[in-house]
Homo-oligomer: A and B are copies of this chain.
Amino acid sequence: MSSQETPRRPTIADVAREAGVATSTASVVFSGKANVAAATRERVLAAAAELGYAGPDPRAASLRRGRSGIVAVVLEGHLRAAFLDPVSTAMMDGLTDGLADLSAGILLMRDEPGDEGSAITNAPVDAFVLIGCSARTRASLEVVLGRGLPVVVIEGDAGEGVPRITLDNVAASADVARHVRDLGHTDVALVTLPLDTDRERAPVTPERVENATVDVTVHRLAGLRQIFPDAPAISASGSLIDEGVLVGRMLLADPATRPTAVIAQSDLLAVGVIRAAEELGLRVPEDLSVAGFDGIEVDGLGDHTLTTSVQPAVEKGRAAGEQVARMLRGEAGVTQDLTCRFRAGTTTGPVPR
- A contact set with B: CB distance below 8 Å: 9, 52, 54-55, 57-63, 66, 68-70, 72, 78-80, 83-84, 89-90, 92-93, 96, 103-109, 117, 119, 121-125, 143, 146-148, 241-242, 275, 299-300
Are A300 and B89 in contact (CB-based, < 8 A)? no
Q: Are A92 and B121 in contact (CB under 8 A)?
A: no
Chain B residues near A147: list those with CB within 8 A. Answer: 54-55
**Residues B79 and A241 in contact, CB atoms below 8 Å apart:** no
Q: How many copies does the complex hold?
A: 2
Docked Cα-Cα span, A299 to B78, in Å, equals 19
Q: How far is the CA of A119 from the CA of B71 in the complex (A)?
A: 12
Cα–Cα, bound, A61→B72 (Å) = 18
A33 CB, nearest partner CB in chain B, Å: 13
Q: Which residues of B contact A146 (CB under 8 A)?
A: 52, 54
**Residues of B contacting A69 in the complex (Cβ-Cβ under 8 angstroms):** 119, 122-124
Identify the closest chain B residue to A54 (Cβ). Answer: B146
From B9, B59, B242, contact of A63 by CB (8 A): B59
Given contacts A63-B59, A80-B93, A108-B105, contact A70 B299 (CB under 8 A): no
- For this complex, 25 residue pairs linking A to B, each with C-beta atoms less than 8 Å apart, are A9-B148, A52-B146, A55-B147, A58-B124, A58-B125, A59-B68, A60-B63, A62-B124, A63-B63, A69-B124, A70-B123, A78-B93, A79-B92, A80-B90, A83-B83, A83-B89, A104-B119, A105-B109, A106-B108, A107-B107, A108-B108, A124-B124, A241-B299, A299-B299, A299-B300
